[in-house]
Amino acid sequence: MAILFTLFILLVILLADAGVLNQYVGFVYKIPFGDKAGHFILYGLLTLFLDLAFFRARPDLSRRRIAVQCGLILALLIGLEEISQLYFSSRTFDLVDLTFSYLGVLFFSWVASKM
């Protein structure tokens, strides 16, 4: 599931970079804070699936350690992706989007460690 969801997120990023994502999910932008909720949920679910996969793959490590390491790596990659939007005319860099992405990582890391 973690691999499939990672591929899904990459597809969403590629469609957004190409400027065609609105054709598929343009309705999200019509919902108040829909874009922010999308960042929170999508990156949060990615975090959850990756954490759970690594919990199984590395039972010798503590869940907290895995969640922190996974969260930090994702935070770096998510930040780089948000910054990369400065170089695409179809994209807009937004610190609030980045904040909601990070909140999703934090919250779902916590959820994964409690499961």
Please tell me the total count of domains within the chain.
1
Q: What is the DSSP string of 17-77?
A: HTT-HHHHHGGGGGSTTHHHHHHHHHHHHHHHHHHHHHHHH-TTS-HHHHHHHHHHHHHHH
- Predicted structure pTM score: 0.88
Tell me how crowded residue 15 is: count the other CB atoms within 10 A of its CB.
16
- Under 8 Å between Cβ of 13 and 81: yes
**pLDDT at 79 (0 to 100):** 96
**pLDDT at 99 (0 to 100):** 97
- Under 8 Å between Cβ of 35 and 85: no
Provide the residue range defining the domain that includes 52. 2-114
Q: 69: which 2 tokens?
A: 């390491």
Written as tens digits, the pLDDT of the chain (115 aa) is 999 999 999 999 989 888 888 777 777 778 888 889 999 999 999 999 999 999 989 999 999 999 999 999 999 999 999 999 999 888 889 999 999 999 999 999 999 999 8
**pLDDT at 45 (0 to 100):** 96
Query: Interhelix angle for 63-84 vs 34-57, to 10°?
Result: 140
